[in-house]
Amino acid sequence: MSFEWPWQYNFPPFFTLQPNADTRQKQLAAWCSLVLSYCRHHKLYTVDVMEAQESPVFNNKKIERKLSVEAIQVVFEELRKKGNLEWLDKNKSRCLVMWRRPEEWGKLIYQWVSKNGMNNSVFTLYELSNGDDTDGEEFHGLEDWMLQRSLQALQTEGKAEIITMDDGKGVKFF
């Protein structure tokens, strides 16, 4: 299934940061939504700002428009404010893009556990993200850091407990 671009993607002003505050707000909202859905489609978790500039998301070759690095930073900062992005370094050159926030992932995992009646069972993290049982689930293949965050979120809610096992980490669901 190929990625479906939003209409804005072919609208040249989309690639110029709008000076009008209201317009800019709508523009940024569209950008945030595009970045998240693009990352989700391609299962991207970490993004390098310099590389991002050359990626099709920010560089529409068809209409010959590309979003400047400064504007990309603005979009990313907006995503950060919304809780969908975290910078990996002080220079803000690399970031984690969370097209689902950890709580949302946690919820998905917990739903799967409940559905299959596996409450009170213990899983290794590897089983959850790469095991045969979860094949086909959305969280299958989830990167380790994100999986841990999701489980931490569940733990905070009292729905799981992360336990340390011999060969790594595991989790018990309640």
Partner 1 sequence: MDRFSWSNGLLEINETLVIQQRGVRLYDGDDKVQFHHPLAQVFNTVIKTCAKIVIHLHPSPANKEPGPYQNSKFSHIKLSFKEHGQIEFYRRLTEEMTQKRWENTPVSQPISTGTGPQAGRIRAVGIVGIERKIEEKRKETDKNISEAFEDLSKLMVKAKEMVELSRSIANKIKDKQGDITEDEVRIPLTVRYSKTCIKLILLHSRHGHLALIEFPELIEFRFFFLTDLLPPSFSSFFSPHVSWLACRLRVFDSGVMVVQLQSHSEEEMIASALDNVTEKGSLTAEEFAKLLGLSVLLSKERLLLAEKMGHLCRDDSVEGLRFYPNCF
Applying CB under 8 A, the residues found at the interface with partner 1 are 7-8, 11-13, 15-16, 18-20, 22-23, 26-27, 30, 64-65
Min separation Cβ 26 and partner 1, Å = 4
Minimum distance from CB of 69 to partner 1 (Å)?
15
Q: How far is the CB of 48 from partner 1 (least distance, A)?
A: 24
Of the pair 67, 96, the CB lying nearest partner 1 is at 67
Closest CB to partner 1 among 19 and 117?
19
| 3-state SS string for the chain | CCCCCCHHHHCHHHHCCCCCHHHHHHHHHHHHHHHHHHHHHCCCCEEEHHHHHHCCCCEECCCCEECCHHHHHHHHHHHHHCCCEEECCCCCCEEEECCCCHHHHHHHHHHHHHHCCCCCCEEEHHHHHHCHHHCCCCCCCCCHHHHHHHHHHHHHHCCEEEEEECCEEEEEEC
Closest to partner 1 by CB, 22 or 166:
22
What minimum distance in Å lies between the beta carbon of 84 and partner 1?
Answer: 20
Query: Which is nearer to partner 1, 29 or 118 (by Cβ)?
Result: 29
